[in-house]
Amino acid sequence: MSSPASLAKETPICYHLAPDKRLLDAGCAAHGCSHAVPGRFSGPDMPPCLMGVQHHTVIDLGKVRRVAMMVTPQCGGDFKDEAWEALSTIRAILRQQGEPMEVTMQTVFLRSREDVPTAELLFEACYGEKMPLTLFVVQPPCEGRGIAIEAWAVGTTHAKVEHHDEHLVTVEYDGLRWIYASGGSLHREGRTAYDQSFEAFENLQAALRRGGAAFEDVVRTWLYQGCITEEVDGVERYRELNRARTDFFAGIPFDNRPVPTLHRGQAVYPASTGIGTLCHGLITACMALHTKRDDVFLLPLENPLQTSAFDYPKEYSVKSPKFARAMAVRTGEDVTIWISGTASIVNSETVYKGDAVGQTEQTLTNIEKLIAPENFARLGWADAGATLADLAKVHVYVKHATDYEKVRAVCERRLGRLPAIYAVADVCRPDLLVEIEGVAFSRVRKPNSEA
Ligand code: 3EB
């Protein structure tokens, strides 16, 4: 377990890598970084520019503190400057928490494939032995920067974090064991999309096993596929991914999950994001939950406005996409909702074709209805539910960079200013312009209470 002192010991390497002192002084305001700095967070050891933009949410679950961070650097400079600023911001946010924190999983969004090796080096130098499970995804951040980081951290006073290997990190607290696994980034030439996808699922399974879990413990997957809508030999790569996922999932007892659901005997698939990346190949990760507690339950959410993805008609895929619209995890009185990538689909059709604003509105309405108390009640949890105000963070994938401002305006109007990253990515249907995923935290309503 790390103490603040041991965290401080790691930093010199990073400071050494800091290529641009501009980031560390107040001179930032001079070139356009004019973020208001709340007094509590300023101080001699807190660079005003870095602390000015606070894109994080703190979630206290019992004794355990979790922090969700969405960091986009503001100050410019070359790629190393930007990466350094983003990493420093994460470090500074964690230092404010008053207890030692560790990053458990992060997704790093990069503008250019050429920056991946530099990013890998910088991140390894910065995190050392405590490298989180890290995905490097080539999806240009919309704000025009070379990098943006989405990261989860946990307080280590009451949680034990283990960094097993590059593909496996586990976190334990309160009788819960979360397993974060990655399937590697598969770039091999000459592999079909089907083989690549199947191999990624096998890799995830192998990592989960090393972490003491099985694939039927998985609650959430992320699939970043290169050339997602490209046709190879007449078949779209995303369709091949779906075929491989269907075949792989056929061997997983999702109808008999260790963590109870109301749906025994019915397959309960993980929540998921399936989206494009500018890299070739496939980058995958998943999150699993293992527990012996008897007050932990799962509820897969389907959307009253949408056909379930696994019931999509054949025109979209011979083998339908096997994922739930969201997965609600109830631990005692806390309900965490992992919302799948959600798009402007009503029933099974794309709506607001060619209209990014309309698609964003519809997507947010889809999320709102998905997590609403009425939907929870319909699906069997009468005392649970959430609103858009309960979102801790969102990730917004935009197909065309030119739609970014409009999309962001809609998101900010309906969601307020919450931690968000906007990145350019191909959504898996040619007519979809926006996809949004997020995580919401809520508590169950006590009997006899009205709220
Ligand atoms: C959709 O609703 C949009 O293949 O795992 C969203 C979330 C989408 C997950 C996946 C695909 C996936 O069909 C696309």
pLDDT tens track for 205-231: 999 999 999 999 999 999 999 999 988
- CA nearest ligand 1 atom 8, residue: 274
pLDDT of the residue at 349: 96
Q: 274 CA distance to ligand 1 centroid (A)?
A: 5
Q: 272 CA distance to ligand 1 centroid (A)?
A: 7
Residue 52 has pLDDT above 70, yes or no: no
Residue 140 has pLDDT above 90, yes or no: yes
> With bands split at pLDDT 50, 70 and 90, how would you rate the model's confidence at 449?
low
Residue 428 has pLDDT above 50, yes or no: yes
Closest CA to 115 of 88, 139, 89, 150: 139
Q: Which amino acid is at 443?
A: R
pLDDT of the residue at 53: 52
Closest CA to 71 of 17, 151, 172, 5: 151
Q: Which residues carry out catalysis?
A: 435
Residues framing ligand 1 (Cβ under 6 A): 223, 272-274, 309, 321, 323, 340-341, 343, 345, 428
- What's the whole-model pTM score? 0.88
**53-67, 147-161, 253-267: which range is least confident on average?**
53-67
Enclosing H/E stretch for 193: helix 193-210
- CA nearest ligand 1 atom 11, residue: 274
Q: What is the mean pLDDT of residues 94-104?
A: 94
Residue 412 has pLDDT above 80, yes or no: yes
Closest CA to 346 of 303, 291, 311: 303
- Cα separation, 194 vs 186, whole angstroms: 12
- Cα separation, 276 vs 227, whole angstroms: 6
Give the CA angle between residues 363, 368, 371 to the nearest 5°. 125
Enclosing H/E stretch for 69: strand 64-71
Residue 439 has pLDDT above 70, yes or no: yes
Q: Does residue 55 or residue 11 have the better pLDDT?
A: 55
- Cα separation, 138 vs 425, whole angstroms: 9
- CA nearest ligand 1 atom 12, residue: 274
Q: 70 CA distance to ligand 1 centroid (A)?
A: 22
- CA nearest ligand 1 atom 3, residue: 343
Summarised one tens digit per residue, pLDDT across range 335-394 is 999 999 999 999 999 999 999 999 999 999 999 999 999 999 999 999 999 999 999 999
Tell me the C-alpha to C-alpha distance, in Å, between residue 419 and each of 53, 389, 415.
10, 12, 10
56-61 and 160-165 beta bridge pairing: unpaired
Domains of the chain, with CATH numbers?
Answer: 1-161 (3.30.1330.40)
Cβ neighbors of 345 (< 8 A, separation 6 or more) are: 306, 351, 366, 432
If one residue of 249, 275, 308 were mutated to test the ligand 1 pocket, choosing by the most ligand atoms within 8 A of its CB, it would be 275
Q: Does residue 239 or residue 51 have the better pLDDT?
A: 239
